[in-house]
Every structure is written in structure tokens, then in C-alpha cells.
Amino acid sequence: MLFVITGVPGSGKTTVVLRLVEILKRMGFSVGGMYTREVRSSGSRVGFEVVDVASGVAGTLARVGHGSGPRVGKYLVNLKDLEEVGVRAIESASMSDVVVVDEVGPMELKSRRFKEAVEKLLATDKPVVLTIHYRASDELLEEIRRVVGGKLIVVTPENRDRLPLELAERIKSMLKGDARVG
């Protein structure tokens, strides 16, 4: 079952996912995958990190101006860390009850290996929670939108506080018959 979360930048997509992960873990489920977080310096955003949900291992997803890699806006994408941390986390999440990927966005889509890992998730029968950039365009994003058939979960100020628990309850009801969980 695929849950796809979207919303404008700053709407709380990552916060919803991180709270969802906490709730699912408290319920006794294993959660794998990756999320991204901003890196700030002196109050300004200077980049992003990619973090393995299960291990907490972090790498640099993108930084302003220095290094090598594809450019997205003012950021240079670090494909090495994206693949060694993010893609590896998605691939190893096959052993988890639930997989999360925050986010399938312009930076992450620069990696062929990332796209392949997410495509494999679309074929799994386990609960998968993806966040997608609200306006990015890519064949993979179009496929994700097609698979969910317009049932995108849009994060707003009105629903962002209740979404993590609502999603956790939906996932719990899907998994409760699974022999691997209590």
C-alpha cells in the first residue's frame, strides 16, 4: 500500500514523516528508509543531509556552491552520499515492516540508483510512505501519481498535526494480520 504525501515547501512533510516513524516504532513496527533534513548555518539554509531511518547514519545530500555533482538551483547534489546512505537505506528497508522515503524530489531524482530503488518500492505489498515535491516533474513522479490515482495526502497547517497518527492507524490496521508483527 502506497501513501504519498505532498505539500508546499515548509508545509511540514518531513515533520509528518518523522512523527509517523516515531509512532510506528512505539507500536512495535520496524521502519526503514531515508529522510532528508535541512542544514543551516548562521540562520541560512546551506544544504541538506540524507539520513538512514533505521541506523541514524547521515550523509550530505547537497550543499551550496562547492564540490562536484549535478546542480539543482544553488545546490550541488552529492550522488555518492545519496547512494551510499539513502539508496542503501531504501534497499535494506526490505526487511522492515514499513518503508519511508522523504523525499522523492529534484535532488534525489538526479540519481539513477535512487530512482531504481523507489521504482522497486512501487511493486511491493508492504506499506510505503513517500513524500514528493509538489510541483517537480519526472517520469517516476508521474508513475507515483498514477499509482495512487489522485489520492495524494496534501499536508496543510490544518491537518499536519493529526496526519501522523491517522497514517499510523491506517498502517497498523493493514499490518495487524502480518505474522511478523504483534
Check the annotation: does 42 bind a ligand: no
| Cα 51 from Cα 102, distance rounded (Å) | 10
| Residue 5: HSE in the Cβ half-sphere, 13 Å Cα cutoff | 27
Check the annotation: does 12 bind a ligand: yes
Check the annotation: does 8 bind a ligand: yes
Sheet holding 98-104, edge to edge: 71-72, 75-77, 58-64, 44-52, 31-41, 98-104, 128-132, 2-6, 153-154
Contact 7, 13 (CB under 8 A): yes
Check the annotation: does 13 bind a ligand: yes
Check the annotation: does 11 bind a ligand: yes
Check the annotation: does 55 bind a ligand: no
Check the annotation: does 51 bind a ligand: no
Check the annotation: does 103 bind a ligand: yes
Determine how β-strand 98-104 pairs with β-strand 75-77: unpaired
Check the annotation: does 7 bind a ligand: yes
Check the annotation: does 101 bind a ligand: yes
Provide the annotated binding site for ATP.
7-14, 98-105
Extract the annotated binding site: 7-14, 98-105
